[in-house]
């Protein structure tokens, strides 16, 4: 039995999340249907992260097991030929049978996009969170330092999570306007987001060993309030110490959130 690793990107606004749900279009279901058509066998697709409805991915990683002998190059071409344009296979590789897209991962990175100008964008609306009021990015940058390290993130965990271990090791966090091109290009973000929006997009990047339910979106809700000068940067530290979700900002829209990369 072969174990196949897929690197996938998708427009999350066109799916009701990654995980299969009855009567809803999901990434997992779309991949499984395509694999069954190509390999003539039913396979379960396991993803590195169960992105919510509306959340996008540049670098989702999945795996499935199959007895099929179709070469990876042909799987790559075949799957992309029948998948809809809003989901694309970027790479197909044979891996060890012990590989697990989720449990073998040692880290993940996410990016959140804010369109910060007084009018919206017809093009960026599906891929960013619009804030018409001016944001103080320097204050947001100052707040980022409090997220780095191994800490209990109960204060930023979404309601409804069954996760009991709330300790997360956040390795990198930073926030910047897209005009800071040296940082922008180091993330290898899609060039579509650069050009006419160079002064208007604020990027937030976070890398950690794991993430709690709605953690990034709750962090962003807090950072936006800091950028609006409704709260101080060191409020982040107070929220972390308190472990009280009610002290943090609101859960922001999923459409500005991208799974960038999964680390192994």
Per-residue pLDDT of the chain (264 residues; tens, 9 = 90+): 999 999 999 999 999 999 999 899 999 999 999 999 999 999 999 999 989 999 999 999 999 999 999 999 999 999 999 999 999 999 999 999 999 999 999 999 999 999 999 999 888 899 999 999 999 999 999 999 999 999 999 999 998 777 889 999 999 999 988 766 545 445 555 555 545 566 789 999 999 999 999 999 999 999 999 999 999 999 999 999 999 999 999 999 999 999 999 999
What's the structural domain count of the chain? Answer: 2
| Domain span including residue 28 | 2-95
CATH at 186: 3.30.70.660
Distance CA 147, CA 168 (A): 10
For 98, other C-beta atoms within 10 Å of its C-beta total 8
Residues 90 and 130 occupy one common structural domain: no
Question: Does a structural domain hold residue 158?
Answer: yes
Say whether both 130 and 199 belong to one domain.
yes
Phi and psi at 217, nearest 5°, equal -65, -30
* Model confidence, pTM: 0.90
Closest CA to 2 of 85, 82, 64: 64
Instruction: Cite the DSSP H helix spans in the chain.
Output: 27-39, 72-82, 137-144, 181-186, 215-227, 235-242
CA distances from 248 to 29, 226, 240, 242 (A): 34, 11, 9, 10
Of 38, 64, 95, the residue at which a domain comes to its end is 95
| Catalytic annotation, pick one of 52, 138, 152, 196 | 52
Active site residue 52: yes
């Amino acid at each position: 039995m072969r174990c196949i690793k897929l690197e996938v990107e998708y427009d999350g606004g066109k799916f009701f999340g990654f995980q299969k749900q009855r009567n809803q279009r999901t990434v997992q279901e779309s991949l499984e249907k395509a694999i069954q058509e190509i390999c003539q066998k039913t396979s379960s697709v396991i993803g590195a992260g169960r992105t919510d409805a509306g959340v996008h991915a540049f670098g989702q990683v999945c795996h499935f097991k199959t007895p099929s002998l179709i070469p990876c190059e042909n799987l790559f071409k075949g799957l992309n030929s029948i998948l809809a344009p809003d989901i694309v296979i970027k790479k197909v590789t044979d891996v060890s049978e012990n590989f697990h897209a989720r449990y073998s991962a040692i880290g993940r990175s996410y990016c959140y996009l804010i369109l910060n100008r007084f009018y919206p964008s017809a093009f960026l609306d599906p891929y960013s969170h619009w804030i018409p009021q001016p944001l103080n990015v320097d204050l947001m940058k100052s707040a980022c330092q409090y997220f780095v390290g191994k800490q209990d993130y109960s204060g930023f965990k979404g309601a409804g999570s069954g996760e009991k271990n709330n300790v997360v090791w956040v390795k990198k966090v930073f926030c910047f306007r897209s005009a800071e091109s040296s940082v922008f290009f180091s993330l290898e973000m899609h060039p579509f987001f650069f050009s006419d929006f160079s002064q208007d997009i604020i990027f937030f990047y976070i890398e950690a060993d794991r993430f709690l339910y709605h953690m990034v979106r709750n962090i962003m809700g807090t950072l936006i309030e800091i950028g609006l000068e409704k709260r101080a940067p060191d409020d982040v530290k107070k929220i972390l110490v308190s472990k009280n979700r009610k002290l943090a900002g609101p859960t922001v829209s999923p459409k500005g959130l991208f799974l960038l990369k999964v680390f192994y």
